[in-house]
Structure 1
Amino acid sequence: MNIAVIPARGGSKRIKHKNIKLFAGKPLITYSIDAAINSRQFDEIIVSTDSPDIAKIARECGATQIIERPANLADDFTGTTPVIQHAIKEYERLHQAVDFVCCIYATAPFLSADYLLQGINQLKQDGQKQYAFSVTTFDFPIQRAIRLAAGGVEPIDSSKMGKRSQDLEECYHDAGQFYWGRKEAFLAGAHTFAHHSIPVILPRYLVQDIDTPEDWQRAELMYKAYIEG
C-alpha cells in the first residue's frame, strides 16, 4: 500500500497562508494534490496540518485523509521527518499498514505525476535502496563560488577558479518536491542524502523554491511561461 503525505502547516511567516494562497488562480497545495492523483500511485493522499482552513481546502482539492498535527509538531523548528513519522503511525493506528510513503511538499506547483511514477518504479526495482527523491543541477559551477571577505571577495576554492566550467564536476541539489521512501526508512529516521537514495533528476525549469515573496513572483512567471505557455 502506498500513501502520500503532504505536510502543510498553517503558520507560514514570510508568505502569509502560503500553502493555500492562490497561485496562478488555484490554492498552492492543489498542485501537489493533483500531481499525486494523476500519478495513480497512491491508495491514500494524506494532508498533515494544524489548520482547519488548509484541511477544508485540501479535502475540496482531492485529499482523501486529513491528519491533525499536534502543536509540538507545528512550530517553526520542527523538521519534516517527525511530521511524516507521526502521519504514518496515525494512519496505521486508524487504518492499515503501509509499504511505501511519499512525502510531497505543498509548495511544489511544478510537480509532475511522471516524476512521481519514475521515483516509485526505480525504488521498487532496487531492493537495497531506501529513498528516491527529486534533484536538479546547479545553474553555476559551485566550485567557483566566492564569498564576501575583508570588504571585498575571495574564492571558496582558489584552485578551481581558473578551470573551465566543462572541466568541473556537475553538482546537484535537492529539488524540494517529493521524497519516496520505504516506511521503515522514514520511521527509523534514515538519512535521505546517502548512498541508499536514488536521485530523480528534474530539469531546472521545473524547480523553484517558494520561501519569499520574490520566490513566489518568480515561480508564477515561470509557471505561466513553461506550463501554461
Structure 2
Amino acid sequence: MYEEEQEQTVPISPPPTAEQTVVVCGTAGGVGTSVISALLAEYRAATTLGGASWWIDAAGNDGDLHQRLRATGDPVLLRSTLGAGLWPLPEEATVTDAILNAWRFGAVPVVDAGARPLTILDDLCEPEMSVVTPILVVGPRPDLLNRAREIFTEWERTGVLRRAIVVICNQIPGLDHQGLTGLLTDVVSGQVAGVVGMDYEPVLGEGTALDREAQERFAPHTWEVLQALVTHTTAARPQSPAAQQ
C-alpha cells in the first residue's frame, strides 16, 4: 500500500474532488484529535467520497480507533463499517509522504497528526501541501488555551494559521464552553478560516464503539459540527471553460 518516494515526471496532485485533504492536530494530548479526525473521514465516506475517504493514523500512539470503528478486511488498509479506509502511517514516512501516497491511490485523506502541531509545520509549509486544510483541536480550559499560545504564534508566523480551522472540543459534561469559544473567536477573527465549538457528546464519552450503530445515537449538535467541518473543508468546484462562457 505504501510506495517509496521515487522520481516523478509529473507532480502528484490531489484527486479532482471538492473535498480537501485534511490534517488534524491537537494543541495537547487527549483533546479529541483522533476521534474528530476519524469521524470526519467517516462522515465523508458515508455522504460524498465512499471508499476514497481515508483516515491516516499519524499520531504515533498505540490507538484503538480501528477497533472502536469495527474495522475489518485487508490489514494493510482496513475498512470501517461505513467504508472509510483506515491506514496506519509507516514509521519511516512523513505526513507529506502519507498524503502523496494516498493521492496516488485516488484517496482524499484525513490525517490524525496527534499532538504534534509544531513538529508537522514543515510538512504543512511544503508547496504541494498548500491545498491541505489544517485543523487545530483545542480543549475548552483556560490552561489549555494558554499553553496553545506558542502554537498559534508559530502557525501564524508561517502563514498556516490563516487557512486553519480551530475546533474547541468539549469533553466534560455540563461545562459551558461558549464563553471560551466566543473569546477565541474574537482573538483569532480574520486570522483563521473558521472556529467550530463542539459540545459534549455522551456517545463519545462512553469511550466504546464508534461504528455505524453508535453514530446513529449521536446528538443533533454533533452532526451539526461534522457538517460544519465538511463545509469548511470543501472547496467550490471549478467551472469548466464551457460553463464559464
Sort the TM-score into its range (normalised by shorter chain): 0.3 to 0.5
Give the strand-richer structure, 1 or 2.
1
Q: TM-score, normalised by structure 1?
A: 0.33
Q: TM-score, normalised by structure 2?
A: 0.31
> Which structure would you say has the larger Rg?
1
